[in-house]
């Protein structure tokens, strides 16, 4: 695993496109909350058209503000609907391994874009196993 930090998000999207095409490896892209994730879309469309395995993980609002039209609200599921083959929202820390495992399997097997949303407060929660 290697982290390549690129800003702004538009440039990061195309760096990821190039990396995926040149290496033929799974690319995981992380974005800032809401509006920052919109800048990923051009890159995702390019990757989707070229059958590149990509996992998009944009930031999201607090879980209890989802759908409440808070400041800078963006419905990420709708925005990613026509470019990603799968959409999952992490509901707890214990949910992460299963969601990520399924997303990796799907994107590699189908050579497609998958989308995972993680509300910004979920990483602060303690998982049910005490971790």
Average pLDDT over the chain reads 81
Lowest mean pLDDT among 45-49, 62-66, 106-110, 113-117: 62-66
Residue where the block lists tokens 């799968």: 86
User: What whole-number percentage of the chain has pLDDT above 70?
Assistant: 82
- Distance between CA atoms of 100 and 22, rounded to whole angstroms? 24
Around Cβ 25, how many Cβ atoms within 10 Å?
11
- Of the pLDDT bands very low, low, confident and very high (cuts 50, 70, 90), residue 61 is low
pLDDT in tens, 95-127: 899 999 999 999 999 999 999 988 878 777 775
* 88/79: higher pLDDT: 88
Average pLDDT, stretch 73-83?
A: 80
């Amino acid at each position: 695993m290697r982290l390549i930090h690129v800003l702004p998000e538009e440039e990061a999207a195309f760096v990821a496109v190039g990396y995926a095409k040149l290496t033929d490896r799974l690319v995981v892209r992380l974005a800032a909350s809401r509006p920052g994730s919109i800048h990923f879309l051009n890159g995702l469309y390019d990757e989707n058209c070229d059958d590149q395995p990509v996992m998009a993980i944009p930031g999201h609002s607090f879980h209890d503000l989802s759908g409440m039209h808070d400041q800078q609200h963006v419905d990420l599921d709708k925005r990613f609907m026509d470019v990603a083959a799968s959409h999952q929202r992490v509901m707890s820390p214990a949910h992460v391994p299963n969601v990520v495992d399924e997303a990796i399997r799907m994107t590699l097997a189908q050579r497609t874009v998958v989308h995972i949303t993680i509300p910004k407060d979920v990483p602060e929660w303690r998982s049910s196993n005490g971790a």
